[in-house]
Amino acid sequence: MNDSLTPQAKDFLNQTIPLFINGTWLSSECGNTTDIIDPSSGQTIATVSSGDEKDVNLAVETADKAFRSWSKLSPEERAEHLNKLADKLQSEAKTLAQLEALDVGKAFVNADGFDIPFGIDCVRYYADLAVKADYGASLDLEDMDARIHRAPYGVCGFIFPWNFPFDLFMWNVMPALAAGNTVVIKPAELTPLTSLYVCKLAEEAGIPAGVINVVVGAGRKVGTPLIEHPKTRRISFTGSSGVGKQIASMCGQRPIPCKLELGGKGAAVVFDDADLDNAVTQLAGAITLNTGQVCCTATRWLIQENLYDAFVEKVTSKLKSTVIGPGIDPKTEMGPVVSQAQQDTVLDYLDKGLTQGATAVLDGGKVDVEGHDGGYYVAPYLLTGSPENICFQEEIFGPAAFLVKFKDEEEALELVNSLEYGLANSVFSEDLERCNRVAEQMVAGNSWINAHNVFAYGLPYGGINMSGVGGGVNCPETFYDYLRDLTIARPLV
């Protein structure tokens, strides 16, 4: 075990970590376990219980029971519970950052400097919103005493991917809890550690039993029964577009509301009057942050022809200097990808892209890191060629981007909007009027100006088309999404 780990992290990893159901740590009914692999070394770092339908049934039933009292608490009481949880998370921020870096392979500097603090802020943000929110609105109708009453749904199910386990938990689950719902969470099989550690801290913070439940396990064994359970009142899914379509269809059978936050293939349009250094920093950062495993990141770089050569020279030099290493090492700027399978996928795209006629602007691919032989490291690669190329068309989810030169605004917009994905794009130019015009014509949930990957409290975020339905992250809209509208009316004549 890594010597730099906190005693709490060591203790936590030094056991078969059970499921968390009804405020109790339980081994799965079937007795199955899964080994959790450190992507930086390929070594097993922990073993977790792996559940199935029986565990899900117990979790949903207990969450349903807990809903009866949790939903009756005043917003102030719920906020007090959540603020206590935030304090607990804060007191163990280093342990959380280490577990996240070990589990996902992400650079500790990012986990410690961004993921964990941002996630903790989110708990406080929704605690505050719960207190300030409107739980009703009167309607000004003729001959009618009428109003809207907003009430929580009941048990909300969450199915998460592996790239931002802690933040996705906070961003999605906290608004649901703050609104008075109880939750059953299925983390990704590959990266359940911080979700389980949050349960330990929730228990210590006094969150009532049954309000938060975590069942680890495979998609079909845990995710599907969670969706199909009659007492699950809504589902929030974050993951790939392919699985998202299946989830939507299962939710449609019930039917229950289903929020989908899916894949992306974001474009960045860089005009020749852009601040070159900023564009280079933002876009190199876009594919090295979390080793490019970021749904909303920019992986199609559209560069105006006059700027193309200068951009390529600067960005390749910047990417070559990226320090690649094990996630847990504070000096690492970019860790490995999450798994052997993901490494194979990212390298396979490189092969296919080249076979289809792309040219390498920056040679990357499999790379060895001294002293960490078994890790799943990939050096950043950049390709250029036809927009028909598979690497322009499909989400790779690794440190890779595809460059295309464009002549004018019209051509750039056509390229941006040529795919079915619609998550996030950006535009870089000193001409803000042009930036705003282009931003408005990008068909997606988010358009960013002179920056990429922009998140702030109060700024809604979501996708359209193949990138999802709904969304929200840290804004009042997300909070209200976890309340259902009930109209109450009394005719006066």
Residues contributing to the site for ligand NAD (CB under 6 A): 159-163, 186, 188-189, 219-220, 223-224, 238-240, 243, 246-247, 261-264, 295, 395, 397, 423, 463, 468
Give the angle 104-203-178 at the CA atoms, nearest 5°: 85
Compute the least distance from the CB of residue 152 to ligand NAD, in Å.
23
Closer by beta carbon to ligand NAD, 112 or else 261: 261
What gap in Å lies between CA 406 and CA 271, rounded to an integer? 9
Least distance (Å) between residue 295 CB and ligand NAD: 3
Q: Among residues 326 and 463, whose Cβ is nearest to ligand NAD?
A: 463
SS3 labels along 313-352:
HHHHHHHHCCCECCCCCCCCCECCCCCHHHHHHHHHHHHH
Which of 100, 189, 261, 395 is the catalytic position?
261
In the bound state with ligand NAD, the residue whose beta carbon lies nearer, of 150 and 352, is 352
Beta strand 43-49 pairing with 33-38: antiparallel
Select which of 156, 199, 258, 295 is catalytic. 295
Name which of 71 and 240 has its Cβ closer to ligand NAD. Answer: 240
Catalytic, 77? Answer no
Asked whether the beta carbons of 330 and 281 are under 8 A apart, the reply is no
Q: How far is the CB of 191 from ligand NAD (least distance, A)?
A: 9
Structure tokens at 383: 């390709």
CB of 303 to ligand NAD, least distance (A): 24
Q: How far apart are CA 212 and CA 161, in angstroms?
A: 18
By C-beta, is 182 or 339 nearer to ligand NAD? 339
Smallest distance from the beta carbon of 338 to ligand NAD, in angstroms?
8
- Least distance (Å) between residue 409 CB and ligand NAD: 27
Structure tokens given for 399 = 């440190």
Q: Could you tell me which of 198, 128, 213, 201 has the C-alpha nearest to residue 479?
A: 128
| CA nearest neighbour of 215 among 35, 65, 53, 8 | 53
Give min distance, CB of 6 to ligand NAD, in A. 27
- Pick between residue 189 and residue 329 the one whose CB is nearest to ligand NAD: 189
* Residues 358, 383: Cα–Cα separation, whole Å: 6
Identity of the residue, 9 or 226, whose beta carbon is nearer to ligand NAD in the bound complex: 226
Minimum gap (Å) between residue 238 Cβ and ligand NAD: 5
Would you say 126 or 397 has its CB closer to ligand NAD? 397
| 290-to-37, 110, 156, 337 alpha-carbon distances in Å | 17, 8, 28, 8
Rounded least distance, CB 290 to ligand NAD, Å:
10
Q: Which is nearer to ligand NAD, 95 or 453 (CB)?
A: 453
Residues 251 and 258: beta-carbon distance below 8 Å: yes
**Shortest CB 124 distance to ligand NAD, Å:** 21
Active site residue 313: no
Between 295 and 303, name the residue whose CB sits nearer to ligand NAD: 295
Q: Show which residues are catalytic.
A: 261, 295
